[in-house]
Structure 1
Amino acid sequence: MLLCVSELATNALVHGVPPGRGFLLRLVPYNEDGGVRIEVHDSGEGAPVLPQQDVQEPCEGGRGMLLVSELADKWGVGVRRPGKIVWCEFVP
């Protein structure tokens, strides 16, 4: 879960935060069984996408959302004005 927090926050800083703006990170319990939802709210345009390159080829970036998609039980993007909410969920 900690890796997903790091990847979503880094993605917001690199791609989703225009100069002079910040982002909001929320960790939210979302069910009685102890599930956790991670949300990152930013004011940037666009939405994160999974990489299309061969993951076997060396590169220094661009795989954060791939990690999130593999580690989390669900992830997605919600609308926010301005910007978006990128989230992922973990079920115990």
Structure 2
Amino acid sequence: MIQSTELPYQRDQFYRRDRRSVPAARRLAEWALRFWGLAEWTRAEDVALCTSELATNALLHGVPPGRGFLLRVRYDGAVVRVEVHDSGDGVPRIPEGPPDAAEGGRGLLLVSALSDKWGVGERNPGKVVWAEFAR
């Protein structure tokens, strides 16, 4: 892999619709942070956890059978941004009321609590769910 020495840094990886894709996506985010010299950053674990949550949500709600998702991790010197691109319908939102322990519902709550901002962007087909972490 060739890595640019100029900002912004970016790493993209496509993952299949497979439960093993979630830990693989988290490992990629952790690797990118290490590669960019951010492994000791106090928010590195937050980035890794949010990557897992966004990838999990994509697999559960946004990736139709036969498709996958794209993970993009980007660093511009001030902000780390994690994006998960999928081809599913719907707009992710934080559920109202307490999360159901059996069914989940905590993923976007965690992303909202740990990131500085998060949101959903349009993509054809599908959407991009992202989270940003200021350095």
Q: Shift of residue 50 of structure 1?
A: 0.5
Unaligned 5+ segments in structure 1 are: none
- When the two structures are aligned, how many residues end up with a matched partner? 88
- Corresponding position: 1:32 with 2:81: no
Deviations 1:26-77 (A, max 9, x none): 1011x333x100000000000111021225xx51301100100000000000
Unaligned 5+ segments in structure 2 are: 1-46
Q: Determine what percentage of the aligned residue pairs are the same residue.
A: 64
1:20 to 46, 52, 66: 66
Query: Structure 2: how far apart are the matches of 1:62 and 1:2?
Result: 18
- Corresponding position: 1:7 with 2:7: no
- Corresponding position: 1:78 with 2:121: yes
1:54 to 89, 98, 118: 98
Query: Structure 2: how far apart are the matches of 1:45 and 1:6?
Result: 20
The structure, 1 or 2, with the larger RCO (C-alpha pairs under 8 Å, 6+ apart) is: 1
Query: Structure 2: how far apart are the matches of 1:10 and 1:28?
Result: 19
Query: Structure 2: how far apart are the matches of 1:48 and 1:88?
Result: 13
Relative to the length of structure 2, the TM-score reads 0.62
Greater fraction of residues in helix: 2
SS at match of 2:128: strand
Relative to the length of structure 1, the TM-score reads 0.90
Whose Rg is larger?
A: 2
Structure 1 outlier segments of 4+, above 6 Å: none
Give RMSD over aligned pairs: 1.1
